Amino acid sequence: QVQLVESGGGLVQPGGSLRLSCVASGSIFSINAMGWYRQAPGRKRELVAVNTSGGRTDYADSVKGRSTISRDNAKNTVYLQMNSLIPEDTAVYYCYALVATSRDYEYPYWGQGTQVTVSS
């Protein structure tokens, strides 16, 4: 089993910054991708940013230029630095990891989510 634990959410004023962190632990052979999704009330869960072990990074258009995803592979940790936050960034942010538990099997895992609220 694999667990993802997020931290770093909270209330921030428009224009402010937040850094989200997510640590993966458990039966990990390798982590093939890590990233962040978000879900606002009444909306579908959407990709924010993802980083693959091959070095590819993708961002949602809505956060490009304002957010940076990074990974510390030694710590099985992914970060999301968000700047110039706007109220539309308000959502529950979920950590995502595509984890190989052996050479033959990989599974998607999700964290429990951390609330980010952008409001004055």
pLDDT digits (tens, 9 = 90+) for 4-46: 999 999 999 999 999 999 999 999 999 999 999 999 999 999 9
Contact 100, 26 (CB under 8 A): no
Question: Can you read off the two tokens belonging to residue 66?
Answer: 């304002």
- CA dist 81 → 36, 69, 100 (Å): 11, 6, 26
pLDDT tens per residue across span 37-85: 999 999 999 999 999 988 899 999 999 999 999 999 999 999 999 999 9
Supply the pLDDT for residue 54: 82
